């Protein structure tokens, strides 16, 4: 059995990764935990009412590996991810109820251990690729921590790792969408984060580029293990990448399933087409169906 089904959605199950996978259980103590407890999020609507987006989410992530937040579009998974990254919308109390703790400390703003990668890669068009990746080192927080002499080496190494070693002097407009997303990924990884939060980073890419990026991410995390939370509405992507898949219901979102996958990455087509995984896929779709999903879920096998 390569996929473990957890019966209770409220009990966070540790991702049991096999050899070669990213997770290193013995090194878990080196990584800060993410603890979400009783998270409720409500937003005011234009007609004066409140819209509940998240409804009592409890979650603990305490070891390296990829945790996929899978749910229909608009269900609140990005809200949950941004909460972990400390990105708060202005004028709205976030979260409405509950607590977010990183490494045991309350998280109420951008956290030095957590770096986010978004679907919109936000590369500065006036800077070269090298300068874009080195951009965080212009900020006082990173200036203090990383000596200037080290910046160049770090940027060179990470650009080589994401396959852009020969593109240092180009500008973002001279790269494809996939390459621009690699730049954004490199800019996050160059900080050597212990938590990497990815908000549908490959959502805007074509199928082939998305697959390349999934492979690249798997490879990079073997070299630089960290706690990854990856938001997607693509069931296939969740199964290709995740050590653990958390299924969220439609808004107001709750965790309705928690699935551990112990197959090492990269995962073969045979594994993805195996009856156990097809069953997992059916189960995920059933969970989403049960929660009366109105948003979009992608299935691209």
Partner 1 sequence: MWNPYQQLSGTQRRLLGFGSLGVVLLAWGLLTGLGVVRPARLPAPWAVGSAFLRLAWDPEKGESPLLDHTLMSLTRIVVAGVLVVVIGLPIGILMGASPRINAVLSPLVDPFRSAPVVSLLPILVIWLGIGETMKVAFLFLGAVVFLIPMVRDAIVSVPEAHWISARDLGATPWETIWHAVVPIAKPRIADAITVSVSIMWTYITVAEYVNAQVGLGALIQNARRFSAMDQVLVGIAVIIALALVTHAAMRALKKRLYPWEVEV
Q: Which is nearer to partner 1, 94 or 293 (CB)?
A: 94
CB of 88 to partner 1, least distance (A): 10
The binding site for partner 1 (CB under 8 A) comprises: 85-87, 110, 112, 115-116, 118, 120, 122, 124-127, 135-136, 138-142, 171, 173, 184, 187-188, 191
Q: Which is nearer to partner 1, 76 or 218 (CB)?
A: 76
Are 161 and 133 contacting, i.e. CB atoms less than 8 angstroms apart? Answer: no
Asked if omega into 127 is within 30° of 0 (cis), the reply is no
145-221-204 Cα angle (round to 5) = 100
CB of 133 to partner 1, least distance (A): 11
Q: Which is nearer to partner 1, 12 or 188 (CB)?
A: 188
CB of 189 to partner 1, least distance (A): 12
Helix (H) or strand (E) holding 288: helix 275-290
Are 274 and 2 contacting, i.e. CB atoms less than 8 angstroms apart? Answer: yes
- By DSSP bridging, strand 195-199 and strand 227-232 are parallel
Tokens encoding 149: 């002499």
Q: Which is nearer to partner 1, 110 or 177 (CB)?
A: 110
Dihedrals phi, psi of 174, to nearest 5 degrees: -90, 0
CB of 233 to partner 1, least distance (A): 19
Q: Which is nearer to partner 1, 167 or 244 (CB)?
A: 167
CB of 142 to partner 1, least distance (A): 6
């Amino acid at each position: 059995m390569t996929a473990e089904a957890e019966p209770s959605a409220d009990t966070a199950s540790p991702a049991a990764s096999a050899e070669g996978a990213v997770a290193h259980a013995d090194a878990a103590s080196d990584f800060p935990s993410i603890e979400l407890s009783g998270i409720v999020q409500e937003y005011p609507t234009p007609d004066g009412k409140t819209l509940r987006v998240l409804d009592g989410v409890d979650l603990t992530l305490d070891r390296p590996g990829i945790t996929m937040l899978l749910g229909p579009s608009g269900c609140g998974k990005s809200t949950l991810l941004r909460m972990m990254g400390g990105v708060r919308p202005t004028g709205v109390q976030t979260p409405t109820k509950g607590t977010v703790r990183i490494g045991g400390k309350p998280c109420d703003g951008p956290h030095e251990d957590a770096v986010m990668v978004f679907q919109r890669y936000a590369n500065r068009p006036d800077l070269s690729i090298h300068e874009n990746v080195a951009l965080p080192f212009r900020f006082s927080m990173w200036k203090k921590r990383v000596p200037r002499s080290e910046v160049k080496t770090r940027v060179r190494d990470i650009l080589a790792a994401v396959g852009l070693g020969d593109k240092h002097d180009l500008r973002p407009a001279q790269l494809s969408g996939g390459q621009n997303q690699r730049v954004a990924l490199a800019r996050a990884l160059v900080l050597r984060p212990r938590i990497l939060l990815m908000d549908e980073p490959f959502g805007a890419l074509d199928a082939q580029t998305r697959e390349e990026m999934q492979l690249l991410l798997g490879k990079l995390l073997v070299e630089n293990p960290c706690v990854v939370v990856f938001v997607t509405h693509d069931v296939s992507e969740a199964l290709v990448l995740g050590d653990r898949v958390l299924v969220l219901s439609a808004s107001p979102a709750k965790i309705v399933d928690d699935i551990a996958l112990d197959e090492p990455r990269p995962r073969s087509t045979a594994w993805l087409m195996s009856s156990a995984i097809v069953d997992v896929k059916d189960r995920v779709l059933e969970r989403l169906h049960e929660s009366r999903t109105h948003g979009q879920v992608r299935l691209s096998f």
